[in-house]
Amino acid sequence: MTRTLRKVALPIGVVALGLVLLLAFAPTREAVLAFLNGAFGGRNNFNLYSTLSRFAILLGVAMSVLVSFRAGLLNIGAEGQLVLGGLTAAMIGVYLPAPPLVVTVSALLGAMVVAALWAMLAGLIERATNVPLLIGSLLLNYPAVYLASYFVSHPFRDVNSGATQSFRILREAGLPRFTGTILDYGIVLIGITALVVIVLERTSVFGYRVRMQGYSVGFARASGFPTRRLYYRTLMISGAIAGMTGFVAVFGMNQRFIDGMLTAPLYAWTGIAAVLMAAIIPWVTPITAFFFAALATGAIGMERSVGIPREVGQIIQAIIVLYLSGVAGKMLSGRDGKGR
């Protein structure tokens, strides 16, 4: 662990030193100030609330990915689970004839159930056909995204809006916003979920079994752990968290499902990057998720203020992921050699 932290700390230190040197130049200072304003400033702290809104979705996806990665399950189908969860929530929010609270709770549970079942489908495919979970979960993203796109483009499209989106959900059922801000209470729901995952992963019997299965399936099986049940249960929990995040995205700021709203910002892949950057450590993951959220909104601020393309932020993210993927690969190969 100490060696890994040293490897991670070295490039961070080099980058920090480089930034200090670059700040001696006026154009660099201007770009950094534009980045900070884009991520945390703005009129009435608008940019800060935008960063927090993005952070909420990223954190939810990251926690979904983290749960499966800690169990050694390479479930990268969070995008499909997120989209189907959001679509399910929107359909319930629009068409369920019930009081607002019932609509909200039903949409949350419906989104979690559908996403959990979609995640379990990848596991069933692996067990039945020997298609690796990595491949199966990745490929299941495509039918999920295309199905959602079809539904909001044709049978459930709000034609009068002129956009490819569903009808607006029942207004009273939407998540309320903090007074005077664009930030909704979805961040509280996701924050509580992240806290529960972090605590239970370290303190519960289930969390211990998940960790041990992630370290060595053979050890877990020899210890009498119900590895098959853990396999499916972990996948379903991972999918349910992704579905809950889709619900927050729909019932929060957007109040409807918009085609591409959960895929174009690359929430799922950035969530995976956040988990990798955190070295799959639960309590570090919220920090890295916030870093990537600030990186995205700050890059938009730089483009708007000083003309630096926002793609620079994605380039930085890609460099970080490439480096940390190498570190993670060495960690996993070392673990396999010793634990398996």
Structural domain contains residue 62: yes
Give pLDDT, residue 8: 55
Burial class of residue 239, CB neighbours in 10 A (0-12, 13-18, 19+)? buried
The per-residue pLDDT for range 227-282, each reduced to its tens digit, is: 899 999 999 999 999 999 999 999 998 899 999 999 998 899 999 989 988 888 99
pLDDT confidence bin for 337, thresholds 50/70/90: very low
The DSSP 8-state label assigned to residue 98 in this structure reads: S
Q: What percent of the chain has pLDDT over 90?
A: 61
pLDDT in tens, 121-175: 999 999 999 999 999 999 999 999 999 999 999 999 999 888 899 999 998 999 9
Is there a domain that residue 4 lies in?
no
What is the count of structural domains for the chain?
1
Please give the helix or strand (H or E) that residue 88 lies within, else none: helix 78-95
pLDDT at 300: 85
Most distant CA atoms of the chain, gap in Å: 63
Whether 34 is covered by a domain: the verdict is yes
Could you tell me if residue 154 is inside a domain?
Answer: yes
Q: Is residue 33 part of a domain?
A: yes
Q: Over the stretch 48-72, which tens digit does the pLDDT of each residue have?
A: 999 999 999 999 999 999 999 999 9
Residue 97 located in a structural domain: yes
Q: Specify the pLDDT at position 339.
A: 38
Domain hosting 79: range is 28-339
The residue among 281, 267, 279, 273 whose CA lies nearest residue 319 is 273
Q: How far is CA 151 from the centre of its chain?
A: 23
Residue 108 lies inside a defined structural domain of this protein: yes
CA-to-CA distance for 290 and 273, rounded, in angstroms? 12
Quote the crossing angle between the two packed helices 78-95 and 227-249, to the nearest 10°: 50
- This prediction has a pTM of 0.89
CATH number for the domain harbouring residue 328:
1.10.3470
| pLDDT > 70? residue 336 | no
Is residue 16 in a domain?
no
